[in-house]
Chain A
Amino acid sequence: MSAYNFAYLDEQTKRMIRRAILKGLAVPGYQVPFASREMPMPYGWGTGGVQVSAATLTPEDRLKVIDQGADDTTNAVSIRKFFENTAGVETTEDTSQATIIQTRHRIPEAKLTEDQILVYQVPIPEPLRFLEPRETETRKMHSLEEYGLMHVKLYEDISQHGAISTSYAYPVRVSGRYVMDPSPIPKFDNPKLEMDAIQLFGAGREQRIYAVPPHTKVVSLDFEDYPFEATKADHCCDLCGAEDSYLDEVIMDDAGNRMFVCSDTDYCRSRREAGHIGPMGAEDAA
């Protein structure tokens, strides 16, 4: 891969992306347009996250890539390989050892630190998109801070279902100003959006970058009488016994028996190594 520049993109492109990132950090939650490039993986596979990671990586970095919380999902493997080949950086599955973590659909369970950057892959950056399909309109709504439509939507959910029927990509308000789509993370992860690490969001196909700086106030939208609730399966991890982690439900046999396991594979592994055992984890010799 020596025919390509460090981390694939040329330096001019990286500078352009870094300018967008800095603008995003300066205006938390604001979607900064950027001239997204075609990448050698398809749109929808994380091209926005990959471009942000490429522009952020230095040769000294240690990269972790997760998809659905796991390091070994096929697309996480593919993106990690891409940076191993094009940037030659060290990679890790250990959340605490990583300096940059690229993620799709999850925030790691372990608390992130000020030395870390979390890069999200974003499919639809516009939280208002499914209420108003036109970009010309939604940009106007953001600039006027006109978010009534979103509150009406949440209210209608409650009046129809008795609850807000958004369970992932749950909208948040950043620093009291912009309503932001946190990417399709489960709403269980929303409280973690207030963190010590830098959070960068890249949407390649939609040509947008946005950011949440460390220690920024991030509030999930709700009502006084229907407060936001971070939910997960009412269960513990069957392998490590964790009560506080987001769980994958796995169908085990034709009879439909199920088990619940941590979606964050590194969290589960580290807990089991520390001796925690879940209801079905005792026989786990590995």
Chain B
Amino acid sequence: MYVAVKGGEKAIDNAHAWLAEERRGDTDVDELSIAQIREQLSLAVNRVMAEGSLYDPDLAALAIKQARGDLIEAIFLIRAYRTTLPRFGYSNPVDTGTMRCDRRISATFKDAPGGQVLGPTFDYTHRLLDFKLAADGDAPHAPVAAPRQEDTPHITEFLKGEDIIQDEVFSDDTPGDLTREPMAFPSNRPLRLQSLTRGDEGFVLGMAYSTQRGYARNHAFVGELRIGKVSVEMDIPELGFAIDIGEVELTECETVNQFQGSKTEPPQFTRGYGLVFGQSERKSIAMALVDRALRWEELGEDNLGAPAQDEEFVLSHADNIQATGFLEHIKLPHYVDFLSELELVRKLRREAEARMAPKEAAE
């Protein structure tokens, strides 16, 4: 006698228990601490903060631990937590011109005020597995220089003097918030940038790469890439002035792009912009390239039909939490839909066979 599948509740509880056990792994091996993840897997922590849209290294480290290292799952945990947090207000825009840079490079000028500062980069390492790390390593020490006291000016500011780079339109308007207003198309640049900065690193990278390979190529130079800490200030109405409420680490990338000129604009350089939480170079450069590709309309360029120029396509598919949810939901039960399809295909086959049968008999 068939008994319909029961016990979904027990199955879920048991699955969760097994998951927790698998997460911990072999108990003879020491458990990871949140501090270890935060300090030693900091680039993973940065990615989770950036795509989770929440700057909190400890929470991001906790999410990575809970997610067994699955970063999209960790980002999801952070997003779901973030959505429950009350909003006290909005900070003032951060001033990246006052960033205390750990790293600051320009690919367009050999040297500039503020200098080229490599900082902690993989760029010139040889990608050889370091087997010494497999043994207990010593704590490495890097030489220390006196930190620069003055602000580091933006490279693009030097081009602005000549009027050879397009100036950004200044606006005091409060930008929209894509977490509070549903996305509508056509959108605008602040919303595009919000979407890209929390967008999936792999997706934004792929989109940017496609522009480099000729799908709406925009000839990007990294005008400047800077990584460092900036102060976050907030106006407190009771005080009547802004106070410093903390600092965040950011990666900012400004690209300088060739622009032939159009019917309305003389030849000039243009810009793409990337700004991401934490040390997230790949993401911020990719973001800047995609931002630039999406600006074709305001610059009077041709729509080449390239994916990276298509705002609705890019923004609708950049969010990995939306994407992974919808992709993975197809493993949920679909018996009802499948059965109705099954009935239909059976019916169509019966009808087709009935149509074909007399013909064969006649032959």
Q: Mark A residues whose CB is within 8 Å of B.
A: 4, 8, 10, 33-40, 42-45, 47, 67-70, 72-78, 81, 104-106, 123, 134-136, 161-163, 165, 167-169, 184-188, 205, 207-208, 231-233, 238-239, 246-250, 252, 259, 261, 263, 265, 280, 283-284, 286
Contact = CB atoms under 8 A, between A and B. Distances in A.
Which 8 pairs of residues, A with B, have the shortest CB-CB distance? Answer: A44-B329, A43-B325, A42-B325, A167-B340, A33-B182, A186-B340, A207-B182, A38-B79
Given A38-B79, A38-B321, A76-B8, A68 B335 contact: yes
Interface string B318-329: 000110111111
Contacts of B188: none
Given A42-B76, A68-B333, A123-B326, A37 B185 contact: no
A213 B179 CA distance: 29
B122 to A, nearest CB: 32
A165 B312 contact: no
Given A45-B332, A162-B351, A74 B8 contact: yes
B312 A246 contact: no
B310 to A, nearest CB: 9
B83 A105 contact: no
A43 B343 contact: no
A161 B348 contact: yes
Interface of A, helix, strand, loop or mixed by DSSP: loop
B342 to A, nearest CB: 7
Given A42-B324, A43-B324, A167-B340, 14 more contacts: A4-B84, A38-B83, A43-B321, A43-B322, A43-B325, A45-B332, A72-B9, A162-B348, A162-B351, A207-B183, A231-B343, A248-B335, A248-B336, A263-B339
B12 A77 contact: yes
B318 to A, nearest CB: 13
13 contacts: A36-B182, A38-B80, A44-B326, A47-B325, A72-B6, A77-B9, A81-B9, A105-B336, A162-B351, A163-B347, A259-B2, A280-B2, A284-B1
Interface residues of chain B: helix, strand, loop or mixed (majority) = helix
A53 B7 CA distance: 24
B8 A72 contact: yes
Given A10-B86, A75-B333, A248-B336, A283 B12 contact: no
A230 B326 CA distance: 28
Interface residues of B, number: 52
B344 A35 contact: no
A4 B85 CA distance: 10
A35 B340 contact: no
Nearest to B341: A167
A136 B336 CA distance: 31
A165 B343 CA distance: 11
B3 interface: yes
B181 interface: yes
Given A76-B8, A161-B348, A163-B347, A42 B328 contact: yes
Contacts of A67: 332-333
A35 B339 contact: no
B82 interface: yes
Contacts of A33: 182, 184
Nearest to A4: B84
Interface in B290-318: 312, 316
B312 A134 contact: yes
A250 B326 CA distance: 26
B4 interface: yes
A248 B76 contact: no
A95 to B, nearest CB: 16
A185 B3 CA distance: 25
Nearest to A162: B351
Contact of A39 (B80, B329, B330): B80
Nearest to A74: B8
Given A162-B351, A207-B182, A247-B339, A73 B86 contact: no
B2 A252 contact: yes
B148 interface: no
Contacts of A232: 340, 343
A247 B76 CA distance: 36
Nearest to B11: A74
B337 interface: yes
Nearest to A32: B182
Contacts of A265: 4
A283 B340 contact: no
B348 A165 contact: yes
Nearest to B344: A167
B358 interface: no
B246 interface: no
B74 to A, nearest CB: 13
A78 to B, nearest CB: 6
Contact of B3 (A77, A105, A186, A286): A286
Contact of B326 (A43, A188, A246, A284): A43
B110 interface: no
Contact of A38 (B82, B86, B183, B185): B82
A81 B9 CA distance: 9
